[in-house]
Amino acid sequence: MDFSIISGNIDIYLEGLKNTVFLVSISLVIGLSIAIPLAVLRTSKNIWVTAPIRAFVYFFRGTPLLVQIFIIYYGFGQFEALKSSFLWPFFKEAYLCALLAFTLNTAAYTTEIIRGAIVATPHGEVEAARAAGMSRMLMFRRIILPSAFRRALPAYSNEIIFMLQGSSLASVITIIDITGAARIINSRYYSPYEAFLTAAAFYLCLTFSILWVIKKLEFRWSAHLRPQETDIAEVRG
């Protein structure tokens, strides 16, 4: 194995790293902001509200991300009406199509995660909020969602990792993410070990960094669940 190929072409990998990080973080942020209202609406009793959300979640969780990307990037070009509309410049760009596919995909999974956390809210908390005279909106904002986020964090951290891994599919529609960089190096030098092992190392580093940050967050958010002694020790220290 000859890793000088990699050090000579490290700028391609760094470009890939930049694209991966952008794609994943933007789609996660937008996906989460779509998922929160959807999850709240999903708990509604009105079937006309819940049915479309269920259909959305069912489709995006039941089909492969690769197929979703293909439908958006290649599939939408089939419609002449879309091709002649102002939206076409958007669907022509591989980068934006990947971003759209990732966003909708993570939104669907996250909706289900947050819904699960909302449903698991202890009933006493809801009763207490009602007894205090809170409106539905206020109750969601102050009582249900904050505790739901804490319960959702372990599952959501998995979703972040899956999104990071799923983002490697962007390389299939010509985007140079980390995997795309590795594919370029492999085809240019025919050196699969060096190319893909380097990509794997990049992804492992990203995964471990994400897990580390989440661990810190989890520790912070569970402050009120820890025994009191630690707080006293911190004050003394």
Site residues for other proteins per CB under 8 A: 58-59, 62-68, 70-71, 74-79, 161, 164-169, 171-172, 179, 182-183, 186, 190, 192-193, 196-197, 199-200, 203-204, 207-208
Tell me the closest approach of the beta carbon of residue 70 to other proteins, in angstroms.
Answer: 5
Q: In 3D, which of 23, 190, 195 has the Cα closest to residue 95?
A: 23
Least Å from the CB of residue 105 to other proteins: 11
DSSP state, 142?
A: I
Q: Nearer to other proteins by C-beta: 101 or 144?
A: 101
Closest distance to other proteins from the beta carbon of 106 (Å): 15
Nearest approach, Cβ of residue 147 and other proteins (Å): 24
User: Distance between the two ends of the chain, CA-based, in angstroms?
Assistant: 51
Q: Which is nearer to other proteins, 26 or 200 (CB)?
A: 200
Tell me the closest approach of the beta carbon of residue 188 to other proteins, in angstroms. Answer: 13
Closest CA to 187 of 203, 201, 171: 171
DSSP string, 50-61: HHHHHHHHHHHH
The helix-helix angle for 145-166 and 10-42 (nearest 10°) equals 140
Residue 90's contacts (CB-CB under 8 Å, 6 or more residues apart) are: 96
Q: Which is nearer to other proteins, 95 or 221 (CB)?
A: 95
Instruction: Report which residue type is found at 190.
Output: Y
Burial of 70 from C-beta contacts in 10 A (0-12 / 13-18 / 19+): middle
**Which CB atom, from 49 or from 172, has the smaller least distance to other proteins?**
172
Which residue, 31 or 143, has its beta carbon nearer to other proteins?
Answer: 31
* Nearest approach, Cβ of residue 214 and other proteins (Å): 14
3-state secondary structure of 130: helix
Structure tokens at 152: 């959702």
CA distance linking residue 167 with residue 102, whole number of Å: 7
Q: Considering beta carbons, is residue 86 or 190 the nearer one to other proteins? A: 190
Structural tokens at position 115: 């819904």
